[in-house]
Structure 1
Amino acid sequence: MIKIAVIGCGSIARHRHLPEYEANKDVKIVAVCDIVQDRAEDLGSLFDAMAYTNYENMLKQEDFDAVSVCTPNYLHAPVSIAALEAGKHVLCEKPMATSTEEADNMIEAAKNNRRWLMIAHNQRFVPSHEKARQLIADGEIGKVYSFRTAFGHGGPEGWSADGADSWFFKKDEAFIGAMGDLGVHKTDLMRFILGEDFTSVGAFIETSAKDHSTVDDTAVCILRTASGTIGTLAASWSYVGGEDNSTVIYGEKAILRMEDDPVNNLVIQYNNGDTAKFELGGIQTNEKQTNSGVIDAFISSITADVEPPVPGEEGKKSLEVILGALEADETRRIVDLT
């Protein structure tokens, strides 16, 4: 039985991490922590766990094996490192850090303490995405020419525990807005599906939809891989008509459409006119909470003592694309990621 603690008792812990831990037969939730005492006590009571308001005290006083870090972005690195140095395995929410230096320190702490570090990039576990990756790897669509991927909704006001006053909108706590909340998921997804890293990025990033925000809320990036695949990535908190979490890949033999149809999670349009449609189970949304696969993968890596599917090194590579996009917007130049 893996004993689990969760640091940060906001919406991501309440609606995803804790319910998925509770559903896993190999897990016992023993502690939760949040600086807001009522929030910690509420979730502690709900999941029959000890409630703390200081994570350092919890690390010293509570006996557990692993921890989910569900704090504001600026705390991801220091909290994760403290947990790793205390001998705990760590599942950290995205983006894993606010700089490559922080990411490196997290990776180093995991290695030095012989503990697993996993980053919660759940898009890799979506069935349509997994199937698309396999189709590309098998040569089903031939050479990949280009892609477009988007992740947008109306913003975290309706999702975050603090509503419009959420840390998501504060630069000193979030560091980055829609690009860190949504865009980094898509950089990780495209690296996963294509099976290669991005070598250059260009970007236009704006704060135009949220008057109370000091971080970005709308961004469009242009990305290129070493093999010459090019595409666009959009991340936004300004999609007021509903969520878009779709990806389209244009290949030599076929087009792959993922989460672009309300019924069929994957549609393949072949160059001979044939079409294949697959209902594979929908993608997880804020409104529709399904099993993300992240928690189960994390627990499996601990019980089997094998590297998790999204280790710190992978999280860092996806973060670097976002950091490059910020630089590209600031300098109005294409940024080399190699």
Structure 2
Amino acid sequence: MGKLKVGVVGCGSIANHRHLPEYQNNPAVEIVAVCDIVEERAKTTAELFGAANYYTDYQELIQNNDVDMISVCTPNYLHAPVSIAALNAGKHVLCEKPMATSEAEAKDMIAASEKSGKKLMIGHNQRFVPSHQKAKELIANGELGRIYSFRTAFGHGGPEGWSADGKKSWFFKKEEAFIGALGDLGVHKADLLRYILGEEVKEVASFVEGNAKQNSTVDDNAVALLRTESGIIGTLAASWAYVSSEDNSTVIYGEHGIMRLEEDPVYSMIIQYKDGSTVNYQLGQIQTNENQSNSGVIDHFVSSVQNDEQPLITGEEGWKSLQVIIAALEANETKKNVQL
């Protein structure tokens, strides 16, 4: 079997910092094409990563018969159209999060994947963080006994420090982003909680604000209250207004102890037991915008295509996590709890 040939649609920060370098480091892959509506950006990216072709129209990239798989790294409103077109053209798709801007779009993506028999994976990298994987395993093994509650947060100073277009970024435009910090960061945590706790969210309440960024038409601070099927309750906070340092921590409160994830700079997991004892785990650092190592997402996607296996975060999984966030938007608008 020759190398898998990949094309990347969208040459912004996530493509240049995560997808392309990780494809480049994967010996099973050859980067053959990139696409961006800004021609100069597409050309520069192609040169940087040794892609033979660059395009400004994603339809042209998708029609390239050399391409086996595609990463969708566009603004959110294009995730579904590009993914569906690529799946229909017989390409495997890795799509950035949030996977879509509505239930209809998400369902259409899942249907396109099923019809074409090609993989659809959503890039929820929090599942690949070593402390999060360990937490899932320990909770499933009953290490904390019954789980009562949690709090999780994902916040940093905002996309202007990270996006290719800075303060003019699509991230701040509702018609292109659909949703702000809640979709950019909150959806990661919805996915993480579902993964770690091993159960679905059943009810959501929320407060969603745009109180920190000028010239923005999306939310930048959101707090959601979640209740799972077994009655675990907790908070999920997403923010673009944590101005000094990033917060990506999760705390799980159980019958036998408290598990603290990605809260301490040295120990990525700390368990404080009811009897007063503490166990510290050093399990490798989480990804931040400043500290880029291998996210695990790209390698997992490549291996699922190579071995014809179901990826860890299918379209269905991506939708279940997005559903929590869409419910939070609805709860804020209606001022009523939303049942899932």
Please state which band the TM-score falls in when normalised by the shorter chain.
over 0.9
Shift of 1:180: 0.5
In 2: Cα distance, 1:33 partner to 1:156 partner? 21
Q: Secondary structure at the match of 1:244?
A: coil
Letter of the aligned partner of 1:185 in structure 2? H
TM-score normalised according to structure 1 size: 0.99
Q: What does the per-residue CA deviation read over 1:121-146, in whole Å, with 9 as the maximum and x for residues that have no partner?
A: 00000000000000000000000000
Shift of 1:60: 1.6
In 2: Cα distance, 1:61 partner to 1:228 partner? 49
Aligned to 2:327: 324
Determine whether 1:131 maps to 2:134: yes
In 2: Cα distance, 1:228 partner to 1:266 partner? 24
Q: Secondary structure at the match of 1:6?
A: strand
Letter of the aligned partner of 2:190 in structure 1? T
Q: What does the per-residue CA deviation read over 1:31-54, in whole Å, with 9 as the maximum and x for residues that have no partner?
A: 000000011001100111011111
Aligned to 1:170: 173
Residues 72 and 168 of structure 1 are in contact (CA less than 8 Å); yes or no, is this contact kept in structure 2? Answer: yes
Q: What does the per-residue CA deviation read over 1:59-115, in whole Å, with 9 as the maximum and x for residues that have no partner?
A: 223511100000000000000000000100000000000001000000000000000
Unaligned runs of 5+ in 2: none
- The structure 2 residue matched to 1:108, chosen from 106, 111, 119, is 111
- The structure 2 residue matched to 1:206, chosen from 204, 209, 225, is 209
In 1: Cα distance, 2:223 partner to 2:179 partner? 14
Determine whether 1:4 maps to 2:6: yes
Shift of 1:190: 0.2
Q: Secondary structure at the match of 1:97?
A: coil
Letter of the aligned partner of 2:216 in structure 1? S
Letter of the aligned partner of 1:304 in structure 2? N
Shift of 1:319: 0.5
In 2: Cα distance, 1:107 partner to 1:59 partner? 18
In 2: Cα distance, 1:295 partner to 1:41 partner? 22
Residues 31 and 62 of structure 1 are in contact (CA less than 8 Å); yes or no, is this contact kept in structure 2? Answer: no
Q: What does the per-residue CA deviation read over 1:119-171, in whole Å, with 9 as the maximum and x for residues that have no partner?
A: 00000000000000000000000000000000000100010000000000000
In 1: Cα distance, 2:262 partner to 2:49 partner? 33
Shift of 1:226: 1.0
- The structure 1 residue matched to 2:16, chosen from 14, 17, 21, is 14
Aligned to 1:263: 266
Letter of the aligned partner of 1:144 in structure 2? I
Aligned to 1:253: 256
Instruction: Tell me how large the CA RMSD over aligned residues is.
Output: 0.6
Aligned to 2:288: 285
Letter of the aligned partner of 2:239 in structure 1? S
Q: Secondary structure at the match of 1:264?
A: coil
Q: Secondary structure at the match of 1:213?
A: coil
Aligned to 1:42: 44
In 1: Cα distance, 2:170 partner to 2:99 partner? 16
In 2: Cα distance, 1:53 partner to 1:62 partner? 17
Residues 264 and 280 of structure 1 are in contact (CA less than 8 Å); yes or no, is this contact kept in structure 2? Answer: yes
Aligned to 1:333: 336
Determine whether 1:89 maps to 2:92: yes
Aligned to 2:231: 228
Letter of the aligned partner of 1:41 in structure 2? K
In 2: Cα distance, 1:156 partner to 1:64 partner? 30
Aligned to 1:242: 245
Residues 179 and 236 of structure 1 are in contact (CA less than 8 Å); yes or no, is this contact kept in structure 2? Answer: yes
In 2: Cα distance, 1:136 partner to 1:59 partner? 42
- Runs of 4+ aligned structure 1 residues displaced above 3 Å come to none
Aligned to 1:26: 28
Residues 250 and 256 of structure 1 are in contact (CA less than 8 Å); yes or no, is this contact kept in structure 2? Answer: yes
- The structure 1 residue matched to 2:308, chosen from 305, 308, 314, is 305
TM-score normalised according to structure 2 size: 0.98
Letter of the aligned partner of 2:33 in structure 1? A
Aligned to 1:276: 279
Residues 66 and 90 of structure 1 are in contact (CA less than 8 Å); yes or no, is this contact kept in structure 2? Answer: yes
Count of residues paired in the alignment: 337
Q: Identity rate of aligned residues, in percent?
A: 65
Letter of the aligned partner of 2:323 in structure 1? E
In 2: Cα distance, 1:226 partner to 1:110 partner? 28
Letter of the aligned partner of 2:336 in structure 1? R
